Structures are given as structure tokens and as C-alpha cells.
Chain A
Amino acid sequence: MTTATTDLTTDHSRAVADGAHTHGAVKPQGSRAERRTSFSLEDIPIPAGREEEWRFSPADRLQPLFQADLGSSGVTVEVTAAPEVTVETVGRDDARLGTAGKPGDRTAVTAWNAFQQATIVTIPKEAVASDVTSVRVRGVSQDASAAHVLVRAERHSEAVVVLDHDGVGTLAETVEIVVEDGAQLTVVSVQDWADGAVHASSHRARIGRDAKLKHVVVTFGGDVVRVTPDAEFTAEGGEVEMVGLYFADTNQHQEHRLFVDHAVPDCKSRVTYKGALQGAGAHTVWVGDVLIRAAAENTDTYELNRNLVLSDGARADSVPNLEIETGEIAGAGHASATGRFDDEQLFYLQARGIPETEARKLVVRGFFAELIHEIGVPSVEERLLASIEAELEKSMSVITGAPTA
């Protein structure tokens, strides 16, 4: 939004209202390089709530997922794979598990220690998947549970994998993503839970030489959804494109914390997250940590977060965070803005005969349109447009008092 753009609650002093800027070297306190990661429960205790990575989160509502005794009965996992793709269900001891980095927070470490069986989706070497592979994670009870999914794109393979989360569940989840040399993988994770669901999901991706990962996160439904995608480059020429779209209604908490770790030279990252908020108590959090280590020369990175606040009582936190340890970079920038759909825009559109509900739809569709086209998976794009329409219907009923269909 160009009018009435404010950095509502961002605590990043360099976040700008509109447009972007590029940094020299910046070293904020609490470097991501020093953040503890571990497979051990003892190393990452139950948070008190004041820790940097939990300070925006509703710790009380996440409590069940902090516990070590997570079960597995709360969700079912079902895969419909493209013919070129193999699917296995394996035990904890499978050597392929745990290779995409270590857990970085409490729910990630409880998820890792509690899962009984993992689902492994493999795109074999040089295979090009002819269809989308769908992984459906369905919440069937409120029993706090753990789940583990590993997506492996072997060298020079190509595929699109869509994870869907729905139903009512209380889930701590790990999604490991391994993109081997030259592979091109798109992973879409849709969180469209029913009311009452609580979901914490640690996505950990490793990207090999000249490999490309497109990572898409879409969050609509659920009481509390907290997704923390980490991406790490293991060799030169890697590229990650991280796209996110979220729409929070009354009393929903949606949090997306990203970490892109540039540890090797010549890699590229692009992060674009956009969210809309509507209704009292709607809260979104976006934190984008990008670390360019000393060895990562010629890195090219840019991250962007935009939020559109549609009504009073909603709150968007947006914290871009860029750490640069080398002077030899190709480009590094970020932008963060939170705008309001304001009375003047509404007046302008209404003064052209457009009713209020239609005017709001026009603006929200416009806000998301470009991002949706970036996803590049037509079946997902269509579903997203439909979901946004459904969200809009919901939020319109808040305004007009009409019952939801």
C-alpha cells in the first residue's frame, strides 16, 4: 500500500515504509551464527517465553508441543505420488533422516525426538516428475503428535511436492528437504487447518551445487501456526526462492521465521512474504534472518515482507534481519512494510460506484495477485485464489454482519 504506510510494530530500525535499501556490513545483537542447534532435548529446554525466537509467540497455546512425550495418533499422512516418484515409510533409524540440519528451537527438537515413523519422498536421479506429488497431513484428534517428512530430490531431478495440512490437530512437524546437485525442486506447504489446530513446523532445507529450491508457504487456517523454514547452501551456484502468503483472521496467530544461511560463495536467495490481517486479535509475525558468512562471496540476496491490515485490532510484526560478514557481495537488500487499507482508498473506490465489500476484495486480490503468479504451479495457484476468496467472504461477513455461507 502506498497510502498510510506505517512500520506498525517492526523493531528493525532500518525497515522502510516503501521501497528498499541495501546494506554495508551490519551486525545486530544475537547473531544467527551463534544460535544453538541440536538433536538433543537437553540442549534446547522449554522456553520461558522471553527468548528471541519465542518473544512474539503465544507460548501458553504452544505448551503441548514443548513436551517431550509427543505421540503420533493425532495425524495421518497420505501420499499421492507422481509415477516417477517413490514413497517410503521408514523408522527412526533410517540413515537418510536428520541430514538437512539440526533442530533450532524447542518444537523442532521435540518433533525430532518423538516421531516414530517418517515419510520419505524421493525423486530419483535425473527423473522429471510428470505430475504434482501430494502429501496430505490430516489432523484427526487433538492428541499432541509429532510427524516427519523428508523430500529428497536426487541429482538433476525435477519435481513439485505439495504438503497439505488440514483437519484439527496439535502437531510438531519436521519437513526435511534435500536438493542434490543440479536438482530443481518446488515444495509447497499449505496450512489450512480447522479452528482449534496448533501447528509448529520446522522446515530444514539443504541446497547443493547449482540446485534450485522454490519453497512456498501458505497459511490460512488454524489457531496457532508457526513455521520456521531454514535454508542452507552446501555448494556454489545454489538458489533458493522463498515465497509466503498468509491471511490471519480474528484471534489467529500466524508466525513465519526464516533463516537463509549463506555459507558458500555464489549463491542466490530471494524471499517474498505477504500477509493480510483482519479482525481483533489477528496476529502475524514475520522474521527473516539472512546470514552471509565470511566465505560466502558474491552472494546475492533480497528479502521482502509486506502486510496489509484490513481492520482495527490486528497486529503485524515484521523483522527483517541481514547479517553480512564479507564485503564481497553481489547484492543484499531487504524491505518491510505494513500498510492499512484506509478510509481514503475506500472512499475513492466507493465514489466510483464500487460497494464496500467489492472494494476490499479488489484491494486484497491486488495485494496478493503478483505473488500468487510467482508460485508457478497452476493447480496450487487456482486453489490459492479460491482460498483467498473464501477468506474474503469470511472477513466481509465481519464487516457487513452477514452470516458466512
Chain B
Amino acid sequence: MPTLEIRDLHVSVETKEGPKPILRGVDLTIASGETHAIMGPNGSGKSTLASALAGHPKYTVTSGTATLDGEDLLAMSVDERARAGLFLAMQYPVEVSGVSVANFLRTAKTAISGEAPALRTWGKEVRGAMENLRMDTAFAERSVNEGFSGGEKKRHEILQMELFKPRFAILDETDSGLDVDALRVVSEGVNRAKEQTDVGILLITHYTRILRYIKPDFVHVFVDGKIAEEGGSELADRLEEEGYDKYLGANKTVSA
């Protein structure tokens, strides 16, 4: 069964003062069809983990491994990782002026599957997926993320996940900024992808409300660059009640 395997991952971020270590030994294994939730305080390194796995140039892996289905993910370029089946729904999706959503989706789909999608069925598929996510089909003609509201950007990320059919998807705070209806609609999209493609999911969140729609098989508590505790979905409820105090050392606050 395909797995995304992360072993003792150490990652630094480039800063003006030189490299700054953020991840300090992350171990995580996700199998197809599984949903893992990661919760943790601000600044603990959750987005860093997501970006480093996707290959953002700002982050340097200083030690450890990450493999997708046995293949060395860290040896691949950003686009190779995506073509290998990794998807990252970003916390802050980037605007790309002048490139229409329709053109972008077609270009990305072509790159990922290695051939242009059949014209007739693709258009239908895109429209169908947009309707499911309650996105006006007029978005197809707009520039990628340009002028999209926060919630619209998140829907657009999940739209891509449904259309590109990755083997593993990292959802970085896809739930933040969504109103209650949007949260349900987006969660349904994720669940559809789970059913149809058996995608393995790493879901980064601060709130349990999304976990009522997307049931996690495992919950990981992320503190100070690594996983501090693991459990089932009951752990999420406990975190929401108790916060992260017990994981943070007495003299330790969330680092700025």
C-alpha cells in the first residue's frame, strides 16, 4: 500500500541572520486512505512541515528522510513531487495575475497526468467539481486567486485536489476563514476525494469543527518542531478543552 513516510526530519528556514532550525526530528507515516490531523500552537512548525515536503526553496532539510511510495521525495524538484502524487493545499494561496483558472487547471492537469485531458470530458469535470464546491463557474475565467476572498481561495485549493487526484494531500488550515456553510461544502469535497481516490490526508488545523466532517484516523500534537503526542480523534477534543499548556515547558512561550 502506498505510504508517505517521514523519518527524523530536521528543517531550517533561510533568514537574514542565517539558517534557523524549525523542525527538530519529525516522524510520521501516512498510508493511503488514512487521515491524519496535526494540531499545534502558532509557530510550532506545521506550515514548515507542509512547505518542506512540497519542496519550497526557502526551507532546507538538514537531516532525515521523506519518501513517497519508497521514492526519495527530497531528491525531487517541486514539480516532480507534485507529479509523483503529492498535493499541498496552501494556507495562503498565491495570486497569479493574467493566468485564468481554466488555463491553469488544464496546464496543471496536463503536467500531472503527462497528457492533455480530453477536451469534452475535462470541461464537464471542471464545471461539475466547481458546482459541487458551490463555486460560480465564472471563476474559470478569472486570474488564479486574484481578488478571491479567503474562503474562495480555499475552495479553489480543494477544487484542485479533486481534479488532480493526488495520492497524498496536505491541507494546511484549509478550514480557517471558512464560514459554516463553506466548511461543510469544502469538507464534503475532501471526503469525496477520499472515497473516490483513496487519497491519504495530512490535515493541519487549529479547530475540531472540521474534524466533525472529516474524521481523522490519527491526531498528532505538534509542538516546537516535532510531534509531542499521538492519539485518536478523542485527543483533538481534549486539546480543544485544555490547550497546549501541558506540552509547553514552564518557561516556554510560543516563540515569535
Binding site for B on A (CB under 8 A): 1-3, 339, 343-345, 347-356, 358-359, 362-363, 365-367, 369-370
The stretch that binds A, out of B78-86, B123-131, B188-196, B243-251, is B78-86
* Complex contacts, A363 vs chain B, CB 8 Å: 96-99
Establish whether residues B79 and A343, one from each chain, have CB atoms under 8 Å apart when the complex forms: no
Residue with the greatest number of chain A CB neighbours at <10 A, chosen from B55, B58, B77, B104: B104
The CA-CA distance from A3 to B107 in the complex, in Å, is 21
Q: Does B112 contact A (CB under 8 A)?
A: yes
The CA-CA distance from A365 to B57 in the complex, in Å, is 24
The CA-CA distance from A344 to B94 in the complex, in Å, is 7
Q: Does B160 contact A (CB under 8 A)?
A: yes
Establish whether residues A353 and B96, one from each chain, have CB atoms under 8 Å apart when the complex forms: no
* Complex contacts, B77 vs chain A, CB 8 Å: 350, 355-356
Q: Mark B57-99, 1 if CB is under 8 A from A, else 0.
A: 1100000000000000000011101110001101001111111
The CA-CA distance from A274 to B111 in the complex, in Å, is 29
Establish whether residues A352 and B164, one from each chain, have CB atoms under 8 Å apart when the complex forms: yes
Q: Does B54 contact A (CB under 8 A)?
A: yes
A-B contact count (CB 8 A): 87
Which 8 residue pairs across A and B have the least CB separation, nearest first? A366-B98, A350-B78, A352-B108, A353-B82, A353-B111, A353-B112, A348-B94, A366-B99
Binding site for A on B (CB under 8 A): 54-58, 77-79, 81-83, 87-88, 90, 93-100, 103-104, 107-108, 111-112, 143, 146, 160, 164
* Complex contacts, A350 vs chain B, CB 8 Å: 55, 77-79, 82
User: What's the minimum C-beta distance from B57 to chain A, rounded to whole angstroms?
Assistant: 6
* Complex contacts, B160 vs chain A, CB 8 Å: 352
Residue with the greatest number of chain A CB neighbours at <10 A, chosen from B54, B77, B82, B94: B94
* Complex contacts, B143 vs chain A, CB 8 Å: 366
The CA-CA distance from A358 to B82 in the complex, in Å, is 14
* Complex contacts, B99 vs chain A, CB 8 Å: 362-363, 366
Establish whether residues B96 and A351, one from each chain, have CB atoms under 8 Å apart when the complex forms: no
The CA-CA distance from A366 to B101 in the complex, in Å, is 11
* Complex contacts, A2 vs chain B, CB 8 Å: 95, 97, 146
Establish whether residues B96 and A367, one from each chain, have CB atoms under 8 Å apart when the complex forms: no
Known: A347-B57, A355-B111, A366-B96. 14 other contacts (CB 8 A): A3-B94, A3-B95, A347-B56, A348-B96, A350-B78, A352-B104, A352-B108, A352-B111, A352-B164, A353-B82, A354-B108, A362-B104, A363-B96, A366-B99
Establish whether residues A1 and B79, one from each chain, have CB atoms under 8 Å apart when the complex forms: no
The CA-CA distance from A353 to B57 in the complex, in Å, is 15
* Complex contacts, B112 vs chain A, CB 8 Å: 352-353
User: What's the minimum C-beta distance from B88 to chain A, rounded to whole angstroms?
Assistant: 5
* Complex contacts, A343 vs chain B, CB 8 Å: 57-58
* Complex contacts, A353 vs chain B, CB 8 Å: 79, 82-83, 108, 111-112, 164
Residue of A nearest to B82 (CB): A353
23 pairs from A and B in contact (CB 8 Å cutoff)? A1-B97, A2-B97, A347-B56, A347-B78, A348-B90, A348-B93, A348-B96, A349-B96, A350-B55, A350-B78, A351-B78, A351-B79, A351-B88, A352-B82, A352-B111, A354-B108, A362-B96, A362-B99, A362-B103, A363-B99, A366-B143, A369-B98, A370-B98
